[in-house]
Amino acid sequence: MDGVILDSMPYHVRSWQEALIERGFSVSAELLYLHEGAIDLNTAAAIFRGNNRFIDADVFREILGRQMDILATRYQPLIKPFPAVLQILKRLREAGWQLALVTSSHVEILKKVLPPEIKSYMDHIITGDQVSRRKPFPDPFLAALSALGQGPEACLVVENAPSGISAAKAAAIQCVALTTTLSEEYLSGADAVFNSHAELSDYLFRRRPGRGE
C-alpha cells in the first residue's frame, strides 16, 4: 500500500520522527525508509541501540500509538494514490488478474487512508495486525496466497522496500520493485526495478497476463 499504491511514505516517516522526538529519540529518515514495513519491537530495539537508548515493549507501544495519531491528525489529508495507480488496477482487472493488497499498516490506518475506489479493486486485503510475523518474514504474502487460492508461481509482488522484497522472496514469489522511496541500490533483491509507475505498467502489460496470473 504505502509507497506503491499510496504516495504516503514521507508522511509515515515524518509521523515516526515526530513521535520519536517526543520520547527523546532521533532517527534519520533514511533509516526509517530502509525499515519500512518491518518496524516492530525487535526492529526498534536495533535501530535505537545506536542512540544509546533502551526501548521496551511498553515504550514502543506508546510511540507506535502516537505515530498513528500524528499520521491521522496531521498528515492523512495529504495522502493520495500515485496518479497512475487507478488506471493500472483497472487494466489488471480487465485482464483477469486477481488482486491482493498486503500492507504492514494496521487496519485502523488502512481504513483512514485507503480510498474506496482503490479498495474496490482488491479481492483480499492483508494488514500487519492479521499475521503473527510481519515483513521481512513471508507470513503476510503467504496469507495473501492462501486468500487468493494461488501458488507462488502464479503471482507477482510489487514492492518498494527491502523488507517487503525479502518477505516476497521468502514466500517464493517473483518480486519487482519501484524506486518511489529508495534508490535502486537498496532494492537489488528484486527481480526487476522500475523508476516509475509508467515503467511498471509497461512491464505488467507486456507480460500479457491471463486469469489467475
Residue 152: CATH number of its domain: 3.40.50.1000
Contact 193, 161 (CB under 8 A): no
Q: Is the peptide bond before 81 cis (omega within 30 degrees of 0)?
A: no
Same structural domain, 62 and 125: no
Judge whether 180 lies within some domain: yes
Same structural domain, 27 and 95: no
Judge whether 213 lies within some domain: no
Same structural domain, 98 and 195: yes
Residue 213 has pLDDT above 50, yes or no: no
d(CA 59, CA 40) in angstroms, rounded, equals: 12
Q: Which pLDDT belongs to residue 39?
A: 78
Work out the average pLDDT over 171-187.
97
Same structural domain, 51 and 101: no
Check which CATH number belongs to the domain holding 34 and give it.
1.10.150.240
Judge whether 212 lies within some domain: no
Judge whether 211 lies within some domain: no
Residue range of the domain that includes 26: 6-78
Cell numbers for 144: 495473501
Biggest distance spanned by C-alpha atoms of the chain: 53
Non-local (6+) Cβ contacts of 66 within 8 A are 19, 22
Q: Which of 114, 158, 163, 108 is nearest to 139 (CA)?
A: 163
Non-local (6+) Cβ contacts of 141 within 8 A are 102, 157, 167, 168, 170, 171, 173
Same structural domain, 26 and 129: no
Same structural domain, 47 and 149: no
Question: pLDDT of 25-82, one tens digit each?
Answer: 888 899 889 888 777 777 777 666 655 667 778 888 899 899 999 999 999 999 999 9
Same structural domain, 33 and 113: no
**How many domains are contained in the chain?**
2
Residue 88 has pLDDT above 50, yes or no: yes
